[in-house]
Amino acid sequence: MEREGSGKRMAIPTMVTIKEAAKKTGLSYYYIRKLCLEKKVVHITAGRKVLINEEKFINFLNGEQEV
């Protein structure tokens, strides 16, 4: 996404649902949901759906804790 005249690009994060994150990582849906409820991973709530920032979730799993 680019704003006119600024010359800078804004990175749009990849957001995945808990179900998608569970499928990609092999972790259980309920464990990932618990991490979200404990605010241990970066996520947003859109209505009833929870969307996780995929890049930051991977960093979290690799031991780079960032809340």
Give the tens place of pLDDT for each residue, 8-24. Answer: 888 899 999 999 999 99
Q: Please report the DSSP string for 21-64 in residue order.
A: HHHHH---HHHHHHHHHTT-S-EEEETTEEEEEHHHHHHHHTT-
9-65 tens-digit pLDDT: 888 999 999 999 999 999 999 999 999 999 999 999 999 999 999 999 999 999 986
Tell me the backbone φ, ψ of residue 49, rounded to 5 degrees.
-90, 135
Q: Tokens standing for 48?
A: 């009833």
Q: Tokens standing for 34?
A: 């618990």
